[in-house]
Amino acid sequence: MMKRLMLAVMCLCLAGLPAYAAAGKTDEKLVVYTYDSFASEWGLAPKVIPAFEEMSGIKVELISVGSSGQVLQRAMLEKENPKADVVIGIDNNLLAKAKKAGVLSPYRSKGLDNVPEALRFDPEYQVTPFDYGYFAMIYDSEIIKNPPKSLEDLTSDAYKKSVILMDPRTSGPGLGFLLWTVSAYGDDFADYWKRLTPSILTITDSWSSGYGLFTNGEAPIVLSYSSSPVYHVAFEKSDRYKAAAFEGGHYMQIEGAGIVKGAPHRKAAEAFIDFMLSDTFQKEIPLTNIMFPTNSATSLPESFSHAVKPEKSLQLLPGEIMEKNEGWISTWVDTVSK
């Protein structure tokens, strides 16, 4: 373990990020807001934060504030007196809300040169993409013998009270699924939700709480990512949980991090964003966040053969989301509360 850590530090020192560290150790600190699963003991943080602190001399104060939506909400509440330097979890679906709130500051990392153009979802560089994935329905194959093959299939009586979803007002996956239904059904998405409601067991405030209910056996289907089965294969040696491949395609999520406008420790924040695109950080993503890394040079472990990579990828443009998102969410609230 120590040899691997030392090797990681040496690699960083050869990479470019180290320009900040080359000046010597500092007593600077960095405050990072993130979502629960990133900061958990099995998440990315325990793998990458120590390496960053070691090479930079910067002490990281990592604050978990719930879901990705709650991360942005916290930054918005502190807009006039920012406490955080970096926020993690602002994805392509939350970008419009973040820009409208004016809480982020542009920064173009040199590491973006290794990120495919298709994943650079913010041309103004307020958010830097570090991983991506596809929303999918994960099902328990010991219970579900005929998994759904489309969004419409989910409305079948066969799945009554069988599905766990997340709230789009507080959860990144929850918002992603709402936008998935909008991209598939357009202005008729509310009618779809009316048909879907009998299939829903519960709607949780975050992905972690919803997925926890699923693995505890509360329901046989949960909204998650097409790569979620990788976790169970890699760490539990089980292929019990599978991703349902939908014929109409899957909605894509590109996850990013941004520097807070007025960040108390700007240079440290820039160094951390650079670090997030380095190989030391990116190679940890597949088996911690269980997502695809954005650095195209990063290899995937064998267990990712169990991840569904859909032939058709769905997305809505940030401009359209900015213009219509509040109306979509309001319509969703009215529909599911009846």
Q: Give the pTM.
A: 0.84
What CATH homologous superfamily does 133-252+306-336 map to?
Periplasmic binding protein-like II (3.40.190.10)
b vs e for 153-165, b when ≥16 Cβ sit within 10 Å of the residue's Cβ?
bbbeeebeebbbb
Q: For 119, what's the count of Cα atoms within 13 Å in the CB-facing half-sphere?
A: 23
Please report, to the nearest 10 degrees, the dihedral formed by the alpha carbons of residues 297, 301, 304, 309 taken in order: 10
CATH number among 2.60.40.10, 3.40.190.10, 3.40.50.720, 3.30.470.20, domain 2-132+254-304:
3.40.190.10
Local confidence band at 23 (pLDDT 50, 70, 90 cut-offs): very low
pLDDT in tens, 244-276: 999 999 999 999 999 999 999 999 999 999 999
- Residue 138 to residue 324: CA distance in whole angstroms: 29
Q: Are 277 and 112 in contact (CB under 8 A)?
A: yes
Q: For 177, what's the count of Cα atoms within 13 Å in the CB-facing half-sphere?
A: 28
Domain definitions of the chain by residue range: 2-132+254-304, 133-252+306-336
**Closest C-alpha among 6, 21, 47, 36 to residue 282:** 47
Query: What phi and psi values does residue 194 have, to the nearest 5 degrees?
Result: -65, -40
pLDDT in tens, 162-221: 999 999 998 888 999 999 999 999 999 999 999 999 999 999 998 889 999 999 999 999
